Structures are given as C-alpha cells and as structure tokens.
Amino acid sequence: MHQALSSENLELTVAMDYYETPTGLLADYLLPAACTLERCDFPAAAKAMEPLYERRDDYQFWRELAIRLGQAEHWPWKTMEEVCDYRFAPLGVTFAQVLRGGGPPPAPKYRKLKARAS
C-alpha cells in the first residue's frame, strides 16, 4: 500500500479523513472531514452542529469539487438535507419530518389469500 500511494507512483494524492491516518500521511493534501456530529447521516440523524473550521462532509466536498470543475448544474442542492427533501418530496414529507418520526405513511398491511375449495 505504501509503495502504491507513494509520490513516485502517483502525481497527486488527496485524502479526506478525521485523523492523520497512514494514508493521509502519504497524501500530498490531507483535507479535514466533518465529524459525526457535523454531518447529516441519514437515516441516523441530522447534524447537531455546523462543521468547525474548514471541515466538510462528503456531500459538501463532492459538490464543491464539481462546481469548481464546471458541473454546478448537476449539484443544485446546497446541503445533504436539501437532497433528502428533494428525494422525499414525492412522498409528501420533508427530511425534518422523517427525523421526527413523521415520515411516510405506513406500508399497507396485506393478508394471505385463503385457499379456495374446488
């Protein structure tokens, strides 16, 4: 792994993590990742706080990179919460409602068909 990620084999290595992992230490750039409390981990929970300093969650990282590469039209949602709202819209609920337990209506209950007497 060390040989594969070394600068003699790759022109550029970028890592994004919470800590200085061995992979991060080999990277040319180590980007700070948002911690669990700073990210929207659907279906677990909404973020408890905004990311501190220059940390980013995965969605922010990929969206900002895409915008810089001229692909802004493919990333219209600014946050992961907005993405979830868009995805839940056909169900008539929002991300916040799902987190509060007010999600989509329960699935219909089915019953087994009884065998007919011939």
- DSSP designation for 59: H
Eight-state DSSP code of residue 113: P
Render pLDDT for 39-96 as a digit per residue (tens, 0 to 9): 776 556 677 777 778 888 888 888 999 999 999 999 999 988 899 889 888 888 888 8
Task: Give the global pTM.
Answer: 0.65
Buried b / exposed e over 59-97, threshold 16 CB at 10 Å, is bbbebeeeeeeeeeeeeeeeebbebbbeebeeeebbbee
Q: Is residue 104 part of a domain?
A: no
Tell me the C-alpha distance between 117 and 27, whole Å: 72
Number of domains present in the structure of the chain: 1
Residue 80 lies in domain: 2-99
- Count Cα neighbours of 54 within 13 Å in the Cβ-side half-sphere: 5
Domain-embedded: residue 109: no
Q: Please check whether residue 106 lies inside any domain of the structure.
A: no
Q: Is residue 118 part of a domain?
A: no
Residue 12 falls inside a structural domain: yes
Task: Identify whether the C-beta of residue 16 lies closer than 8 Å to the C-beta of residue 1.
Answer: no
Backbone angles phi, psi at 29, to 5 degrees: -130, 130
Residue 71 included in any domain: yes
pLDDT at residue 102, rounded to an integer:
61
Angstrom CA distances, 45 to 31, 81, 84, 92, 101, stand at 24, 10, 12, 19, 11
The verdict on residue 116 lying in a domain is no
pLDDT tens, position by position, 86-98: 988 888 888 888 8
